[in-house]
Structure 1
Amino acid sequence: MPPLPSTRLSFPLNSPLFYILPSTSLFPNLIITTTNKKNKFLIPTMSFSSSPSSPSPSSISNPKEPEHPRDPEDQELLLQQVLKYHNQTKHHFTKYARGPHGLDWANQPNPFRRYVSAPLLPLLHFPTENQNPNSSSTQDPLYSSLFLNLPPPKPISKSTISQFFYDSLALSAWKTTGFSTWSLRVNPSSGNLHPTEAYIISPPIESLSDSSFVAHYAPKEHALELRAEVPSWVFTNFLPKDSFLIGLSSIFWREAWKYGERAFRYCNHDVGHAIAAVSMAAAGLGWDVKLLDGLGYEDLEKLMGLERFPKFQIPSRPVKGRFPEMEFEHPDCILVVFPNGAGEFDVNYKQLSLAISEFSKLEWKGKPNLLSKEHICWDIIYRTAEAVKKEISLGNTFLVDPFQSSGICSEGSYKGFTAREVVRKRRSAVDMDGVTAMDRNTFYQILLHCLPSGSRNGGKQKKPLALPFRGLPWDAEVHAALFVHRVEGLPQGLYFLVRNEDHLDKLKKSMRSGFKWMKPEGCPENLPLYELDRTDCRTLAERLSCHQEIASHGCFSLGMVACFDRLLHDKNMWMYPRLFWETGVLGQVLYLEAHAVGISATGIGCYFDDPVHELLGLKGSNFQSLYHFTVGGPVVDKRIMSLPAYPGPDVDA
């Protein structure tokens, strides 16, 4: 069986050879290891230092359900659990985070959750290319235009809801080679594992449902599985007219099957990718998206019908066996989708929570399918998921800021693709050609769309106002350390994109004193990009990303560096997964930007955490690296044939 298509891969750990890289101001004392250079990016196996049967003591022996409010001692225990998870799941040159010794193909999780016996509501399909460019009713907006302003909002209908899911969470293609076939989706996922599930909570929609309803989205069928009918649209007093809710949840087992303990990180990357995918699809219909982040974990469970899953008893150590209850869905977030320009509206979270409590009384339809016959439970994942459960925030205010356009410095860099062409033809490159170079202005244009605040007439970058970051209710916490390899007109070297300029002074003080912090030549005034050091860092970028050539063979790669310690202490442990969500949103922008300018990209979840920090001179946990990415010219594997997404083959390997 061929390897799974993958965007975050690790490799067998061979006998390491220790050596010191050539001395530069970047890494005078950085010691790293190398592995056999015959490792290929497509190898889907991982080797680790411990077996699933080895004990994993936890600072929380049996985490409690969140209380209102939590005791300070409980808070400290939960914080220690989060820090324990983060540090224990770091990759090191001498040891990878714990995971399976190989892939148990017999128990590969089914990539499609279905609710058996739930009524299926088919959705409409749409062409990728506009069949009639002169028809305003079918015209899909240009991708780059969405960053300037949103089109007039379309009403909720079977057609628009169908288009919304088709351009955000649906299948995008099938791939086949030899005797194996697998599907790809619009929203990216590490290893094509897809731990993220989606739900819609909506008022009545003609030709879909005569009553308000809750439905699970089934991407293979491009259909809604009706889970429950709601007597009336209970959110009339809370949400604008013509709005609905989207819920996202995670099945940790899908990711842990391949990646072991690090899976919790990757699941939350995927939540961020899904948030951005939903935001971009909504934008094409003139709809805005915002996270309802004042709700608590229990509210989300009730709203999506997930409280009906059997409660999973967390074992005291990693164990292997038959644990069907481990396939439960962890509710991550609820997004409200509403017409652009609806104006400000206030959400009373206390009254909203009371309304949601009635969902426990609904008649829920369908039984979730079994994904695997046997499982390995990495207990630390589930303990950490307990620790980051969010309580309801009664004092939270719900603000909808005016749409802010993103900066433009090189509109000509885009290839004239429509939004649908970009989102549905997006692919994760499995290799880069090591030749393709990018124009400097194209590089700057991509980074302008990575900024949270867009063009603000000289204002600081900080608040999420631009697409798709505007869906997040917190100020930007994630920055990017860039390894520039092949950008014409820009020297090779290490650069830094500051996405929250309130952090600039702290970053300068925290990082190496020898860095230059100079604006590069031709850099737009409103782009907070800084040159740190000029050097050929291709070999360094490759080795820091688990020795993967894809990190050095593109035009540039990067590590996403997040504000960490202060944020967890100040805003509570529930911000831990949200930091990964922000990296996923940023990663989705990089995916789409790369394809819009005619190249490709790939997310890299395998990297050596602390050596990245040492490279930058970061000490302690004030800032932590949470995700890597690479952008460049893809190498296409001609052995793999592409098939249409719909109708697709019956078998998904």
Structure 2
Amino acid sequence: MVLQFLPSRLCLPLNAAHFHILPSTSLSLPRPDRRKIPTMSFPSSSAASPSVKDPNKEGEEQGKVAQALKYHHQTKHSFTNYARGPRGLDWANQPNPFRRYISAPLIPLLHFPAEKQAITDDAPLYSSLFHSLPPPKPISQSSISQLFYDSLALSAWKTTGNCTWSLRVNPSSGNLHPTEAYLISPPIQSLSDSPFVAHYAPKEHSLEVRATIPSGFFPKFFPENSFLIGISSIFWREAWKYGERAFRYCNHDVGHAIGAVAMAAATLGWDVKLLDGFGHDDLQKLMGLDIFPEFKVPSRPIKGKFPDIEFEHPDCLLLVFPNGSNQFHANYKELSSAVKEFVNLESKGKPNSLSREHVCWDIIYRTAEAVKKPLTVQSGEFPVDQFQSSGICSENSYKGLTVREVARKRRSAVDMDGVTVMERETFYQILLHCVPSGNGGKHRRQLALPFRALSWDAEVHAALFVHRVVGLPKGLYFLVRNEDHLEELKRATRPEFNWEKPAGCPDDLPLYELATANCQELAKRLSCHQDIASDGCFSLGMVAHFEPTLSDKGAWMYPRLFWETGVLGQVLYLEAHAVGISATGIGCFFDDPVHELLGFRGSKFQSLYHFTIGGPVLDKRIMSLPAYPGPSIDK
């Protein structure tokens, strides 16, 4: 079919090959930047809360779900209104992107060449990791250094005129980097003679030792040759620029960090798994984040000096262990009891100040409180799923780069050239690495790299706008990443959609053509009028199985849905660079018009993140400098 249908309240003239879903072209809207600068101010939002059951009748958990839904609906962008944010950027109070613990012992990590490497077990081809992992390396100063260097370190400095700023291996919305990381480890020669907790300082590529922990902790609870990485968020860093919508973007960034760690660990023959039985309070104690005073949330958005707003919110804990390890017994109740004793440890270092003044968007902190995960008290075998390789249809699409070359040279494109085209087989190959279950069988469980780090079945799909893929008609397509949702998606979307497999599509790729049309203008308008969404080879919106997931599993799944989109986004970034082009994550889009295009009603499915992939336009005015040693500036 040709995409011709149109919601009545958004009507514009059509022809047979072009479909618009946008307001009158005379409507003047602000033009936010690519990653979403809201332009509204402080008055209380008039956005109506979504229809949910009375939390007083449905219990505490239903009230938490209601808060998550309220936040989500209140922070939507629309054609006529953007989510609330600052009027402009308060450059004098831009948060320092580098957390440091003053007076904590600083242990330098090793550096590695970023230029072309010989293909060895130490530097495997990027594409090879999707088929099998190399033999596991022992935990050492070198391997720990390499893990952080290829996942969370600085990748370059950029300079133009009087402005200089750093880039990192892990992407971040607006390059604001709300994400912090912690290493919790048994003794490592040349790093520590005792088990320890350390904060990773990316500017120095060093570990700040925060505390030593009991010697029996790792042998009692975890497999041999394993360690933990904790991830936290500083909401203020993101809210400085993006206001209320910042909580979404912080959790996108958590997902990108999980994906980055999983890929770098795979290079070393290590597997990564989310330890999702821990509760929020356990993570806070384990990472030593209970040193931050409790932030008292005001009743409305206010501006002033709130140093307590710079606290770190513990997000998740990753277990890193040798690939091929056997299952082990996980007793989270005993683990939680052991972690409670960490409050008695001597904590080293005082967190640095990030800004002189702050703005508190109160709904961020109320929602963060509502979606905290409680402890999972039951014990049992911790599942260690066998590594599942991903599908192959065009191995020659890749440029023969190592994982380090792809990860450390990854950049977010500022603009797309509107010219570069992609071969159909390359398009299919990229999507084969985006499905969760790997090669063969029905897609549902997350067994393939890097999705295997997550602890739930896939809940995120992708609606794709195909612009410049040779041999594939322009139009709207849908990648079903959990095939248990297929019939539900067909019922939830427009009855006019085709739901047919496109020509040449691999059997194990659940990709469907919905409608054919030139969607370039449509993709641009839906992504906040940004050309970059239409000038690439294709763009997409990540669609989550939303309210049913929160209702069935709990409000704590709300940030995890964004984590899953971040992991998927990380794959798209790496895939684009591995085939010789570029990509950009887009957080600014008009939420409900996207749903209207697809035919979604209510909150069963929601779009959480947009992406675009294509040929980048390089800005020759900006000069690149090495990541290490970088210039002597703080920001």
The bucket for the TM-score relative to the shorter chain is over 0.9
Whether the aligned pair in 1 keeps the contact of 2:17 and 2:517 (CA below 8 Å) is no
C-alpha deviation, 1:396, in angstroms? 6.2
C-alpha deviation, 1:244, in angstroms? 0.2
Q: Which residue in the other structure is 2:408 paired with? A: 424
Q: Which residue in the other structure is 1:472 paired with? A: 454
Which of 137, 140, 144 is the matching residue for 2:127?
144
* Paired amino acid for 1:76: Q
Whether the aligned pair in 2 keeps the contact of 1:41 and 1:549 (CA below 8 Å) is no
Whole-Å Cα distance in 2 between the matches of residues 167 and 30 of structure 1?
42
Q: Which residue in the other structure is 1:488 paired with? A: 470
* Paired amino acid for 1:120: L
Whether 1:383 and 2:375 are equivalent positions in the alignment is: no
Matches within 5 A, 1:240-255: 240-255=223-238
Q: Which residue in the other structure is 1:82 paired with? A: 68
Whole-Å Cα distance in 2 between the matches of residues 287 and 154 of structure 1?
8
Q: Which residue in the other structure is 1:321 paired with? A: 304
Which of 172, 175, 181 is the matching residue for 1:192?
175
Matches within 5 A, 1:162-561: 162-395=145-378, 397=380, 398-456=382-440, 459-561=441-543
C-alpha deviation, 1:45, in angstroms? 5.0
Which of 144, 159, 163 is the matching residue for 1:161?
144
- Deviation track 1:170-207 (CA, whole Å, cap 9, x = no partner) reads 00000000011000000000000000000000000001
* Paired amino acid for 2:458: A
Q: Which residue in the other structure is 1:106 paired with? A: 92
Whole-Å Cα distance in 2 between the matches of residues 101 and 37 of structure 1?
14
Which of 568, 573, 582 is the matching residue for 2:555?
573
User: Please, what TM-score do these two structures have when normalized by structure 1?
Assistant: 0.92
C-alpha deviation, 1:352, in angstroms? 1.1
Whole-Å Cα distance in 2 between the matches of residues 274 and 600 of structure 1?
19
* Paired amino acid for 1:257: W
Q: Which residue in the other structure is 1:621 paired with? A: 603
Q: Which residue in the other structure is 1:93 paired with? A: 79
Whole-Å Cα distance in 2 between the matches of residues 43 and 103 of structure 1?
14
Distance 1:360 1:549, change over 3 A: same
Is the partner of 2:544 in helix, strand or coil? strand
Whole-Å Cα distance in 2 between the matches of residues 383 and 38 of structure 1?
28
C-alpha deviation, 1:73, in angstroms? 2.2
* Paired amino acid for 1:421: E
Q: Which residue in the other structure is 1:606 paired with? A: 588
Distance 1:331 1:421, change over 3 A: same
Query: Aligned residues: percent identity?
Result: 71
Q: Which residue in the other structure is 1:47 paired with? A: 39
* Paired amino acid for 2:91: W
Structure 1 gap segments, 5+ residues each: 1-16, 60-69
Distance 1:40 1:359, change over 3 A: closer
Is the partner of 1:228 in helix, strand or coil? strand
C-alpha deviation, 1:400, in angstroms? 1.0
Distance 1:75 1:647, change over 3 A: same
Whether the aligned pair in 2 keeps the contact of 1:52 and 1:320 (CA below 8 Å) is no
Q: Which residue in the other structure is 1:648 paired with? A: 630
C-alpha deviation, 1:56, in angstroms? 8.3
C-alpha deviation, 1:72, in angstroms? 5.0
Whether 1:118 and 2:104 are equivalent positions in the alignment is: yes
Whether the aligned pair in 2 keeps the contact of 1:434 and 1:633 (CA below 8 Å) is yes
Distance 1:465 1:42, change over 3 A: closer
- Deviation track 1:530-581 (CA, whole Å, cap 9, x = no partner) reads 0000000000000000000000000000000000111110000000000000
Whether the aligned pair in 2 keeps the contact of 1:216 and 1:224 (CA below 8 Å) is yes
- Deviation track 1:489-522 (CA, whole Å, cap 9, x = no partner) reads 0000000000000000000000000000110000
* Paired amino acid for 1:444: Y
Is the partner of 2:222 in helix, strand or coil? coil
Whole-Å Cα distance in 1 between the matches of residues 439 and 303 of structure 2?
52
* Paired amino acid for 1:599: I
Whether the aligned pair in 1 keeps the contact of 2:279 and 2:373 (CA below 8 Å) is yes
Whole-Å Cα distance in 1 between the matches of residues 431 and 413 of structure 2?
20
Whole-Å Cα distance in 1 between the matches of residues 578 and 272 of structure 2?
22
Is the partner of 2:59 in helix, strand or coil? helix
Structure 2 gap segments, 5+ residues each: 1-8, 50-55
Whole-Å Cα distance in 2 between the matches of residues 501 and 117 of structure 1?
52
Count of residue pairs the alignment pairs up:
620
C-alpha deviation, 1:39, in angstroms? 5.4
Whether the aligned pair in 2 keeps the contact of 1:56 and 1:380 (CA below 8 Å) is no
Whole-Å Cα distance in 1 between the matches of residues 452 and 425 of structure 2?
25
Whether the aligned pair in 1 keeps the contact of 2:98 and 2:201 (CA below 8 Å) is yes
Whole-Å Cα distance in 2 between the matches of residues 43 and 260 of structure 1?
12
* Paired amino acid for 1:170: A
Whole-Å Cα distance in 2 between the matches of residues 274 and 21 of structure 1?
44
* Paired amino acid for 1:279: A
C-alpha deviation, 1:148, in angstroms? 0.3
Whether the aligned pair in 2 keeps the contact of 1:18 and 1:34 (CA below 8 Å) is no
Whether the aligned pair in 2 keeps the contact of 1:41 and 1:430 (CA below 8 Å) is no
Whether the aligned pair in 2 keeps the contact of 1:177 and 1:641 (CA below 8 Å) is yes
C-alpha deviation, 1:342, in angstroms? 1.1
- Deviation track 1:133-185 (CA, whole Å, cap 9, x = no partner) reads 28x57x40000000000100000000000000000000000000001100000
C-alpha deviation, 1:589, in angstroms? 0.2
C-alpha deviation, 1:395, in angstroms? 2.7
